[in-house]
C-alpha cells in the first residue's frame, strides 16, 4: 500500500503540473504554428552563406521563428548544411530554434518566474556568441569538410520530414497566408504536429518531475546543489545543469517542469538556464549528430556546446545579480499550486477549445496523411485546395524514423 501511495502521489504531482502548463503549451504552440506558416524559410540556405554577423543574426531570428522541438531543429540545421548554408550559421539556427522559441519563454514565465524567461532570451544570444568564438578558434577546416561530406550522405536521423515541411516554399505574403483558409489549415497542421512531436517529451518530463517532487526531499537537493556555499553553488549549478539534462533524456519544453523542481530544490539561477540549454546534448541527439556529421565532429560539438552552455549560464547569472533581477523566492506554480477554479482553469478551458477546434480542422483537411508522409521523409504542402507539391526530405532517397 505504501508503494501504491507513493506512485499515486507522484502521478498526482505530474497531473497538477500538466494542469498548470496546458494553457501555456497550447498558447505557445498556437503562436509557433502561426509564425511557422507566416515566416518563410524556404531560401534559408541562400540567406546563410557564411558566419558573418549578418548571417548569424538572421540565423538566430529564423531559429526563433521555428519549432521548439530539438530533434526537428537538428534536422533542419543539417538540411541547411546540405543545401550549402554555412555550418556555423546552421548551428546558431539550431540553438535558437530550441532555446529562443516563444512557447519555452511562456512556460518559464508561467511556471517559475519572468526572470527565467528573460534569462533564456538574454542567455541564448550570449551562448551563440560563445559558440561562434569556439568554432572559429578550435574547429579545423579539415574536420568541418569531413562533417559536411557526412551530412551530404543524407543518413536518416530523426524528424527529416518536419525539416522538409518547415523549409518548403511558401506562396503569397505573410498577411495573405494568415488571412486565407489554406493558411489556417496549415496553422492547424503545424499546431497539431507540435503536440505530436513533443507529447512524449512533455509526458516524460512531467512524470520525472512529479516523481522527483514527490519522492526526493529538499534537503537532498540543497546538499547536492551546495546551497550553503553561494559562490560554489553558482559555479556548480552552471556546470551540472547540462549534465542533468543529459540524464533526463527530455528536450525543450519537456524540461521545464523538471527545471521548476530543481529550482525549488536549490539549484542556482544559472543552473536552471544551463539545464534548459542542455537539451541539445542529450544522448539521443548526440547519436543523431554522429549519423549526420560523424563521430569526431560529434565529440567536438558535444564539448563546445557544453562549454557554451556553461559560460552563457554564468554570464547570465552574474548579469542578473548586478541588475538585482535574481528571484528572491523559490516558489513555483507547478509545485506549490493546487487545482482550483481560478484564472488557470479559465485559460485551460479557452485553450482547450482552441485545441479541439484546430484538431478538428487537422483531421478534416488531410492532416493524418501529411503526418504519414512525414514519417517517410516526405512533405506534401498544399498551396490551394487542388494544387499540391511534394517535397522529398532526402536528396539521396533515405527514409526517416521520427522519435516523436
pLDDT recorded at residue 227: 93
Confidence of residue 168 (pLDDT cuts 50, 70, 90): low
* Residue carrying the nine cell digits 578558434: 137
In a domain, 266, yes or no: yes
Domain that holds residue 198: 2-392
| pLDDT value of residue 234 | 96
**266-290: average pLDDT:** 92
Q: How many domains is the chain built from? A: 1
Could you report the per-residue pLDDT of 141-166, keeping only the tens digit for each?
999 999 999 999 888 765 665 555 55
Instruction: Kindly state whether residue 400 falls inside one of the protein's structural domains.
Output: no
Say what the pLDDT of residue 193 is: 82
Which pLDDT score, from 0 to 100, does residue 238 have? 97
C-alpha–C-alpha distance, residues 237 and 185, integer Å: 44
Rounded to whole angstroms, how far apart are CA atoms 82 and 292? 10
How buried is residue 20: exposed, middle or buried, by Cβ count under 10 Å (0-12/13-18/19+)?
buried
| 3-class DSSP state of 379 | strand
Kindly tell me if the per-residue pLDDT of 377 is higher than 60.
no
Q: Is residue 246 part of a domain?
A: yes
Candidates 163, 178, 182; CA nearest to 383 is 182
Q: Confidence class of residue 351 from pLDDT cuts 50, 70 and 90?
A: very high
d(CA 16, CA 396): 46
Does the residue 404 lie in any domain? no
DSSP 347-370: HHHHHHHHHHHHHHHHHHTTHHHH
On whether residue 51 sits in a domain, the answer given is yes
Q: Which residues pair with 382 in a beta bridge?
A: 388
Check if the beta carbon of residue 120 is closer than 8 Å to that of residue 105.
yes
Asked if residue 168 is part of any domain, the answer here is yes
- Looking at the DSSP bridge assignments, the partners of residue 390 are 380
**18: pLDDT strictly greater than 60:** yes
Task: Flag whether 399 is in a domain.
Answer: no
Lowest mean pLDDT among 34-38, 287-291, 307-311: 34-38
Quick: pLDDT tens for 121-135. Answer: 999 999 999 999 999
Query: Containing H/E element for 392?
Result: strand 388-392
What is the predicted pLDDT for the residue at 395?
36
For the segment 67-89, the average pLDDT, to the nearest whole number, is 84
Mean pLDDT of 259-281: 92
Q: Is the pTM of this model over 0.85?
A: no
Q: Helices 114-138 and 102-111 sit at what angle, rounded to 10 degrees?
A: 130
How far is it, in rounded angstroms, from Cα 247 to Cα 257? 15
Q: Residue 401 falls within a domain, yes or no? A: no
DSSP state of 341: S
Percent of the chain with pLDDT over 90: 39
Mean pLDDT of all residues in the chain?
A: 82
Amino acid at each position: 500500500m505504501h508503494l501504491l501511495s507513493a506512485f499515486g502521489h507522484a502521478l498526482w504531482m505530474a497531473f497538477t503540473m500538466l494542469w498548470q502548463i496546458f494553457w501555456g503549451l497550447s498558447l505557445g504552440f498556437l503562436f509557433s504554428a502561426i509564425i511557422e506558416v507566416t515566416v518563410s524559410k524556404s531560401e534559408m540556405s541562400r540567406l546563410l552563406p557564411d558566419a558573418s554577423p549578418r548571417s548569424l543574426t538572421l540565423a538566430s531570428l529564423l531559429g526563433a521563428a521555428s519549432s521548439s522541438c530539438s530533434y526537428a531543429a537538428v534536422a533542419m540545421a543539417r538540411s541547411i548544411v546540405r543545401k550549402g548554408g554555412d555550418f556555423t550559421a546552421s548551428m546558431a539556427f539550431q540553438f535558437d530554434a530550441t532555446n529562443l522559441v516563444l512557447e519555452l519563454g511562456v512556460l518559464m514565465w508561467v511556471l517559475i518566474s519572468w526572470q527565467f524567461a528573460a534569462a533564456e532570451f538574454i542567455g541564448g544570444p550570449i551562448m551563440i556568441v560563445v559558440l561562434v568564438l569556439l568554432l572559429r578558434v578550435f574547429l579545423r577546416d579539415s574536420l568541418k569538410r569531413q562533417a559536411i561530406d557526412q551530412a551530404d550522405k543524407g543518413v536518416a536521423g530523426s524528424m527529416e520530414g518536419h525539416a522538409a515541411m518547415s523549409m518548403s516554399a511558401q506562396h503569397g505574403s505573410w498577411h495573405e497566408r494568415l488571412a486565407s483558409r489554406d493558411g489556417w489549415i496549415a496553422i492547424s497542421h503545424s499546431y497539431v504536429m507540435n503536440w505530436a512531436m513533443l507529447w512524449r517529451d512533455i509526458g516524460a518530463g512531467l512524470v520525472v518531475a512529479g516523481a522527483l517532487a514527490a519522492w526526493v526531499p529538499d534537503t537532498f537537493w540543497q546538499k547536492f546543489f551546495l546551497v550553503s556555499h553561494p559562490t560554489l553553488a553558482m559555479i556548480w549549478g552552471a556546470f551540472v545543469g547540462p549534465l542533468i539534462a543529459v540524464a533526463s533524456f527530455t528536450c525543450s519544453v519537456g524540461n521545464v517542469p523538471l527545471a521548476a523542481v530543481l529550482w525549488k530544490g536549490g539549484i542556482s539561477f544559472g543552473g536552471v538556464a544551463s539545464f534548459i540549454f542542455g537539451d541539445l546534448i542529450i544522448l539521443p541527439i548526440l547519436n543523431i549528430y554522429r549519423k549526420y556529421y560523424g563521430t569526431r565532429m560529434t565529440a567536438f560539438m558535444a564539448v563546445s556546446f557544453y562549454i557554451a552552455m556553461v559560460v552563457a549560464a554564468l554570464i547570465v547569472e552574474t548579469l542578473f545579480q548586478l541588475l538585482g533581477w535574481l528571484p528572491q523566492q523559490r516558489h513555483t506554480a507547478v509545485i506549490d499550486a493546487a487545482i482550483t477554479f481560478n484564472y488557470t482553469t479559465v485559460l485551460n478551458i479557452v485553450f482547450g477549445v482552441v485545441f479541439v477546434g484546430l484538431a478538428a480542422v487537422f483531421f478534416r483537411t488531410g492532416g493524418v496523411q501529411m503526418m504519414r508522409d512525414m514519417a517517410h521523409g516526405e512533405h506534401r504542402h498544399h498551396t490551394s485546395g487542388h494544387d499540391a507539391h511534394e517535397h522529398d526530405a532526402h536528396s539521396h532517397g533515405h527514409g526517416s524514423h521520427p522519435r516523436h
